[in-house]
Structure 1
Amino acid sequence: MNNNDIVPGFDDEKDDSLKIRLQKVDDVEGCLVLYLTGYIDTYNSNFFQKRVTKAVEHNFTRLIFNCGGLNYVSSTGIGSFTAFLKAVKPRGGDLVLLEIQPKVYEVFQLLGFSQFFNIKDNLNEAVEFFSSEGKSGATDVFPKIFQCPICSKKLKATKSGRFRCSECKTILAIDNAGQVFLG
Structure 2
Amino acid sequence: MISNANNNNIIAGFDDERDDSLKIILEKAESINKGIFIYLNGYIDTYNSNFFQKKVSKIVEAGFINLVFNCSSLSYVSSTGIGAFTAFLKMLKPKGGDVVLLEIQPKVYEVFQLLGFSQFFNIKDSSEDAISFFANGSGPVESIFPKIFTCPVCNKRLRAIRSGRFRCSECKSIIAIDEKAQVSLG
Superposition TM-score, scaled by structure 1 size: 0.76
Pairing 1:20–2:24 present: yes
Question: In the alignment, which residue of structure 2 is the partner of 1:121?
Answer: 125
Deviations 1:94-114 (A, max 9, x none): 000011111111111111111
Q: How far did residue 145 of structure 1 move?
A: 2.8
d(CA) in 2 for partners of 1:123, 1:154 = 36
Instruction: Indicate how the Cα distance of structure 1 residues 43 and 131 shifts in structure 2: closer, same or farther if over 3 A, else same.
Output: same
Q: How far is the alpha carbon of 1:47 from its aligned partner?
A: 0.4
The percentage of aligned residue pairs carrying the same residue is 59
Structure 2 residue runs of 5 or longer lacking an equivalent are: 147-161, 167-173, 182-186
The more displaced of 139-148 and 44-53 is 139-148
Letter matched to residue 89 of structure 1: K
Amino acid across the alignment from 1:15: D
2:73 matched to 1:55?
A: no
Which one has the largest radius of gyration? Answer: 2
Contact 1:145–1:154 (CA under 8 A) maintained in structure 2: no
Instruction: Give the Cα–Cα distance (whole angstroms) in 2 for the partners of residues 60 and 124 of structure 1.
Output: 19
Which residue of structure 1 lines up, in the alignment, with residue 8 of structure 2? Answer: 4
Per-residue displacement from partner, 1:49-107 (whole Å, max 9, x unpaired)? 00010000011000000000000101111111011111111110000001111111111
Aligned to 1:63, the other structure's residue is in SS state strand
What letter is aligned with 2:81? G
Provide the rounded CA distance (Å) in 1 between the counterparts of 2:29 and 2:84: 22
Unaligned regions of 5+ residues in structure 1, if any? 158-173, 179-183
Q: Distance in 2 between matches of 1:85 and 1:97?
A: 11
Count of aligned positions: 155
In the TM superposition, what is the alpha-carbon distance from 1:31 to its structure 2 partner?
A: 0.3
SS of the counterpart of 2:163? strand
